[in-house]
Amino acid sequence: MAASDAAAKRRSLNEGLADPKLQQSSTGISSSSSGSRPSPSYGRGYEVFLSFRGADTRDGFTDFLYTSLRDAGVDVFRDNEELHVGEEIGPQLLDRIERSKISIPIFSKNYASSKWCLREFACMMECRKRMKQTVLPIFYDVTPNEVQHPEKGIYAEAFSKHVEDSKRDPRIDVRKWREALEEVGTLKGWDLQNETNG
């Protein structure tokens, strides 16, 4: 990606982070996080949980977003390999998703190739239904339409592989992942590709 494209995406996101609705959300989070909820089983809760495909964005966009949020005083969690237990999401990671007030999935070209990412996103959408958690997607080099239709376009090959794998491993819940992705159209988020192109 050209440096100018990356800079434009960062500018677009900075404008989004300045959105009064997000700031209100974040202020509400900060003021309420110390009171009503019990202490997390695996440590403190977080205001924001970031879900991303490391190979696509960890050392670039995600690092920028993480740093920007931290600099703005937002308590952010991004996962690392230590929380991964084989093919399953470890209890610590599930706990951190559930105890976050806002989840931000960063959809990128290889997001759907990761079972981890899909499990995280499905968990976020469950938390949205059960606990009214806010989910704010970022579409990085993919469009909302591509994410919403995982068996077509950019995610088709990865999703086809998951379908095949699910025949051998019942823990791979392709139906749940598909349903979660299909709901992307109901979420307000940032389409960085379109915003930087026009």
Active site amino acids: 120
Residues 6+ apart with CB under 8 A from 24: none
106 contacts 50 by C-beta, under 8 angstroms: yes
| Structural domains of the chain ordered from first start | 44-197 (3.40.50.10140)
- The helix-helix angle for 63-71 and 3-17 (nearest 10°) equals 30
pLDDT reported for residue 79: 76
**Smallest Cα–Cα separation from 118: which of 166, 70, 75, 69?**
166
Q: What DSSP line would sit under 97-122, residue for residue?
A: HHT-SEEEEEE-TTGGG-HHHHHHHH
pLDDT of 170? 86
Longest dimension (CA), the chain: 47
The CA–CA distances, whole Å, from 139 to 46, 90, 131, 172, 195 equal 22, 26, 24, 24, 10
* Amino acid 16: pLDDT: 57
In this prediction, residue 13 carries a pLDDT of: 59
The answer to whether the CB of 108 falls within 8 A of the CB of 142 is: yes
How far, in Å, CA of 197 to CA of 194, rounded? 5
Question: In this structure, which long-range contacts are made by residues 40-45, counting pairs with CB atoms below 8 Å and at least 24 apart in sequence?
Answer: 40/95, 40/96, 40/99, 41/91, 41/95, 42/91, 42/92, 42/95, 42/96, 45/96, 45/99, 45/100, 45/101
Query: Strand 88-89 and strand 84-85: pairing?
Result: antiparallel
The pLDDT of residue 39 is 37
pLDDT (tens digit, 0 to 9) for every residue of the chain, 198 residues total? 455 565 665 565 555 555 544 444 443 333 333 333 333 444 567 899 999 998 898 889 999 999 999 999 999 998 764 445 445 556 788 889 999 999 999 999 999 999 989 999 999 999 999 999 999 999 999 999 999 999 888 999 999 999 999 999 988 999 999 999 999 988 999 998 755 544
Q: Tokens 């392709």 label which residue? A: 174
